[in-house]
Structure 1
Amino acid sequence: MDWARGAAYVLMVIAHVAPGDGPARILLVSEFLTAPLFALLIGVGAQLGWSTSGEHGWRYVLREAVRAALVIALGLLLMQSAASVLIVLVHLGVLMLLCLPLVRLRTTPLAVVAVLALVLALAVPGLYRSLTGGHAVAPSAPESDAFLTVLGLIGGTGGYRMTGLLLCAVLGMLAIRALQSAKAAWWRGALASAGAFAVMLALLVAPNLLGLYEVHAYDGTPSEQIGVASGALGVLLTMWAAQASPLGRALPSRVAQLLAAPGQAALTLYALQILVLHIYQVNNPLVRDDHWWMLAILVVLGVGFAMVWQEVLTPLARRVPSARRWARGPLEGLIRGMQGLIVPRPTEVSSSAGGRAMSPYRTGAR
């Protein structure tokens, strides 16, 4: 999961500042996959947190609600920046709240929810376009247009559609349940990821190349909604197959952990990226931030910062227990601290009750 989140960070930076689409327009995939991949990983993280935390009562719900609220607050703060980025953290924070009741469902009811989410992801944008003629309705519209306004907010229009993000999150929950319960060989995961990418290419690339119809990132068409969800699933399965493969198992544990560091600090790296772009835009108000050198700086800065942070904090956390919450990243540690302050855990847990160990895999956000 952390490797996939690290890949999502790199895709995000490419989508934000790459000045071109690269050879054969390969970099254009970042525009399609970044937000859906983060949404899918929200679902994966929620499922892992639920199944491994040992806390299934009100305390767990409140702690995760605090996390979601802080992510939303950070998103609202970053929206005040001068960076030319459409902030997605508010949407992902709301998605975290939606995942809280869904992780409690058994697999069959959750699969039914996935079907309903798919129907909404396909129907809501089409219904909105048919009712508005493709024009967005302002939030200040008269009460007679309240239905259209709500329809637009949940997925009818905009760069980030909650219906599509919900579909990806539920798909992530189902995928991680299947991976946890199955004993499939790594190559089966590789084949499954290839199949997922084939669906993505068939729905996102082939229609444009063959001149059948146009598919654009964030357009909300059925091809785009299903294609991006399939592509995000393909990234997750690819990382799972890589980790389970002989090459992945042969990696020294410290190397594997360093490769996971950017994904574990994804929230911090997101904010760091916005800070860099904000400073650049303030000092160069009439200049675009789309440059190859900016892309290189953000990737190297983000990946390097996360790795150095863990190299410093991991040994410290072994000696100072209170430093453990900060090992993943500064903002990740701040959120863990706020969770502990607002909804503290019991200081002692009877081992006969099964213990309560937090999963090292926590929900990240773009």
Structure 2
Amino acid sequence: MSPAPVEAETRGGLPARHRLVWVDVARGLALVSMMIAHTAPSGGPAGVLNLSEFLTAALFAALVGVGSALERRRYGAGRTLVLAAVRALALWAAAFLADLFGAQVVDILRHLALVTLAMGVFGALPRVGRAVLALVGVALGVWLTALGTVTVAAHLSAGLAPLQEATAPIRAQLGNVGAALEITDPEVLMWTASYLTAGPYRLPLLLAWALLGSVLVASVVRFEGVARVTAVAWAGAGLLVAGAGLAWSRWHIGEFPTPYTASLADVAVTGGLVVLALGLCAAVVPAHLPWLTDPLAVAGSMTLSVYVAHQAYLGWAVGGWTVFGGALQPGPGPWVNAAGTDDTWFNLVVLIVAAVLLPLLWRRLVRARPWQRGPLEGVVGLVTGRIAR
């Protein structure tokens, strides 16, 4: 969700300072999907809005891979790794900022920070290697979830025991600091549940989608722009895989697969939708459909700031803000339903409209670089700009 890298110069084959608009459109689509997942009070016609539960997190992760691949083409593996570390730190800091608002959502920024850092390393692999590693990530995510949190945590604790013993003398000399560095079994259990097995976000699967995104963008970005035939082929493959997952689930249990469960049907639908979304964006956006793509591109060009702003709004809607010791309470209104949650059509409309209008207003008022990219994007740009130069 950090500012989109700019694909450029001779190594990438595109004009200097050229921005891949279809990537911004994909980011905007991820934001809209997230807002639907967070606030839509129903699944809509035939439950089509429920697909946002499968698409959102995976598409954000895939876009991390897209950005990593584009930066590596421009800057090489070394600087891309440094940029990944900066972006990961920025995402972690933004997660703490988002926590202050108390929104009723499960934040994904910390997971994406780890995925960003991992892609700084794995992005240097050749395309085939990344594709194979993506398959390994999918298999690992499904397998670890099937094993269960307690079993995986027990194996991790046993594996860490030799390291703990080897570092015991050093930690003893460090006193209280060394004691704080000791990893206890409850901590391993909590980390396992939060990042590997219990969901809704699992690192092996998120990393798999990021690797998949890096493979896809490498295959569709060419010296003349975007290879639309390849993009359409990716979209078609994604549609087939997602359709197969839905059909299997309908036949097997009579309904949609349950999202965030890491079942085979869930993974098939999720992976298929990600490929479908990225493939369509790469194929359709260059065809110049501004009435469809421009609003999404506007939102997607300021993703991190829009994401945190949406957390701030939802936190206000359900509980209000505390500012300088005073409370700003929303009171009753269309921003909460009868159960006191934020699942309302009013919130969905407000968030989508604001996702377009806020970036437009910001860019009209702020012209200086890197702040024109967005408030949070500008902070990150101060550091990444120096590294890029």
Partner of 1:337: 382
The one-character-per-residue Cα deviations of 1:296-350 (angstroms, maximum 9, x if unpaired) are 011101111122323444xx3xxxxxx221222111111112445xxx34xxxxx
CA drift of 1:130 comes to 9.1
Amino acid in the other structure paired with 1:5: R
Partner of 1:172: 213
The one-character-per-residue Cα deviations of 1:216-255 (angstroms, maximum 9, x if unpaired) are 110111221232022111100000010233x45xx59xx9
TM-score of the aligned structures, taking structure 2 as reference length: 0.74
Match runs of 1:1-366 below 5 Å: 1-52=23-74, 54=75, 56-57=77-78, 59-128=79-148, 131=151, 151-181=192-222, 186-187=228-229, 189-203=231-245, 205-212=246-253, 215-245=257-287, 247-248=288-289, 259-282=296-319, 283=329, 284=331, 287-313=340-366, 316=367, 323-339=368-384, 344-345=386-387
Identity among equivalent pairs (%):
29
Decide which moves more: 93-102 or 113-122: 113-122
Partner of 2:158: none
Q: Distance in 1 between matches of 2:89 and 2:55?
A: 25
Amino acid in the other structure paired with 2:280: T
The one-character-per-residue Cα deviations of 1:187-240 (angstroms, maximum 9, x if unpaired) are 55334313312311221x324433446621101112212320221111000000
CA drift of 1:36 comes to 0.3
SS at match of 2:42: coil
Partner of 2:12: none
SS at match of 1:287: coil
* 8 Å Cα contact 1:325-1:336 kept in structure 2: yes
Q: Distance in 2 between matches of 1:9 and 1:225?
A: 20
CA drift of 1:170 comes to 0.4
Amino acid in the other structure paired with 1:30: S
Q: Distance in 1 between matches of 2:229 and 2:122?
A: 30
Partner of 1:348: none
Amino acid in the other structure paired with 1:180: V
Amino acid in the other structure paired with 2:45: P
SS at match of 1:217: coil
Q: Distance in 2 between matches of 1:338 and 1:241?
A: 33
Q: Distance in 2 between matches of 1:91 and 1:68?
A: 9
* 8 Å Cα contact 1:128-1:151 kept in structure 2: no
Instruction: Name structure 2 gaps, 5 residues minimum.
Output: 1-22, 153-182, 320-328
CA drift of 1:124 comes to 1.2
Q: Distance in 2 between matches of 1:262 and 1:149?
A: 35
TM-score of the aligned structures, taking structure 1 as reference length: 0.78
Amino acid in the other structure paired with 2:314: L
Amino acid in the other structure paired with 2:284: A
Q: Distance in 1 between matches of 2:375 and 2:237?
A: 37
Give the aligned length.
Answer: 319
Q: Distance in 2 between matches of 1:66 and 1:55?
A: 16
